[in-house]
């Protein structure tokens, strides 16, 4: 049977590392085939060797256990479901991590970001537990439902530039988000980017060290006093925003 694939969708394919580190080698997986689009992937601790992508991949869900690792090896990874990384996740170049699931949890993770891009691009409510990790570029592209980013992070850039489409981002109260560049490029006609705290009245901390460009934003409970002042254009001050200078020439 040439070009027939007798695999069942929706299963969990567990990495064994029995052969080598190459993702696409069937002998490295307990289902006897490398993961298909509908598979959930689990990379367990104590494997003899750990996976490295050998091309762009799309999977349903991902678990990288404490002590385990996954090397993106220069290739993009799309995950349609939930992600839990408690081990190591390594980028080596400009990889894109497309996150479409409801929950992405990096608690306990060791991220090597290189020049990679992490994109929240789901169609429903999304939560990213960033857990203080270091990220290169982080982008929010979900225009259908709120994205909540908890735990704080350190990034080269935090960006949202979906034109006139509505975007809602919630930041964890008390957490600090440190970034060189902070770009929230919304509409010049309406405030279509909403930035809120996870607890009304309790500030989330923003530390910008480089470039800031904000337009079309509705901002509340953001303390930018940890870094450079923010001068938003065509934006709304919904209160409790130290070091945000609204309406400046």
| pLDDT of the residue at 25 | 98
Q: How far apart are CA 231 and CA 243, in angstroms?
A: 9
| pLDDT of the residue at 6 | 72
Chain length of the chain = 249
- DSSP 8-state symbol, 94: S
Alpha-carbon dihedral sign for residues 136, 241, 245, 218: positive
- DSSP 8-state symbol, 237: E
195-233 burial, b at 16+ Cβ within 10 Å, e below that, comes to bbbbeeeebbbbbbeeebebbbbbbbbbbbeebbebebe
More confident residue, 7 or 217: 217
| pLDDT of the residue at 60 | 97
Q: Is the pLDDT of residue 133 over 90?
A: yes
- Looking at residues 218-228, what average pLDDT do you find? 98
Torsion of CA 148, 152, 153, 157, to 10 degrees: 50
Residues 47, 65 contacting (CB under 8 angstroms): no
| Other residues' Cβ atoms within 10 Å of the Cβ of residue 235 | 23
Q: Is the pLDDT of residue 100 over 90?
A: yes
Burial of 173 (0-12, 13-18, 19+ CB in 10 A): middle
248 band by pLDDT with thresholds 50, 70 and 90: confident
pTM of the full predicted structure?
0.95
Residues 148, 167 contacting (CB under 8 angstroms): no
7 band by pLDDT with thresholds 50, 70 and 90: low
* pLDDT digits 0-9 by tens, 154-193: 999 999 999 999 999 999 999 999 999 999 999 999 999 9
Q: Is the pLDDT of residue 8 over 90?
A: no
| pLDDT of the residue at 162 | 97
| pLDDT of the residue at 10 | 83
As separate numbers, helices (DSSP H) first and strands (DSSP E) second, the chain gives: 0, 24
Strand segments, DSSP code E, in 161-203 are: 167-171, 176-185, 193-197
- Looking at residues 103-111, what average pLDDT do you find? 98
* pLDDT digits 0-9 by tens, 17-72: 999 999 999 999 999 999 999 999 999 999 999 999 999 999 999 999 999 999 99
Helix (H, G, I), strand (E, B) or coil at 26: helix
Contacts of 47 (CB under 8 A, 6+ apart): 15, 16, 17, 68
Q: What share of the chain is helix, strand, coil (3-state, %, to 5)?
A: 0, 45, 55
- DSSP 8-state symbol, 68: -
Q: Determine what percent of the chain is predicted with pLDDT higher than 70.
A: 99
Average pLDDT over the chain reads: 97
């Amino acid at each position: 049977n040439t070009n027939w694939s007798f695999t069942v969708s929706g299963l969990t394919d567990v990495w064994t590392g029995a052969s080598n580190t190459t993702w696409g080698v069937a002998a490295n997986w307990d289902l006897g085939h490398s993961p298909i689009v509908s598979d959930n992937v689990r990379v367990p601790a104590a494997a003899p060797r750990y996976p490295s992508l050998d091309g762009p991949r799309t999977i349903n869900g991902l678990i990288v256990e404490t002590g385990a690792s996954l090397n993106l090896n220069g290739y993009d990874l799309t995950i349609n479901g939930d992600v839990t990384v408690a081990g190591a996740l390594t980028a080596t170049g400009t990889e894109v991590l497309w996150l479409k699931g409801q929950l992405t949890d990096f608690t306990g993770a060791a991220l090597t970001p290189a020049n990679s891009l992490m994109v929240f691009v789901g169609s429903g409510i999304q939560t990213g537990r960033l857990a203080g990790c270091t990220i290169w570029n982080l982008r929010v592209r979900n225009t259908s439902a709120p994205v909540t980013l908890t735990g704080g992070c350190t990034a080269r850039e935090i960006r949202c530039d979906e034109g006139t489409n509505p975007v809602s981002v919630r930041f964890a109260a008390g957490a600090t988000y440190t970034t060189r560049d902070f770009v929230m490029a919304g509409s010049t006609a309406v405030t279509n980017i909403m930035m809120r705290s996870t607890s009304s009245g309790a500030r989330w901390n923003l530390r910008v060290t480089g470039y800031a460009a904000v337009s079309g934003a509705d901002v509340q409970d953001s303390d930018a006093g940890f870094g450079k002042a923010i001068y938003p254009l065509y934006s709304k001050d919904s209160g409790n925003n130290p070091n945000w200078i609204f309406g400046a020439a």
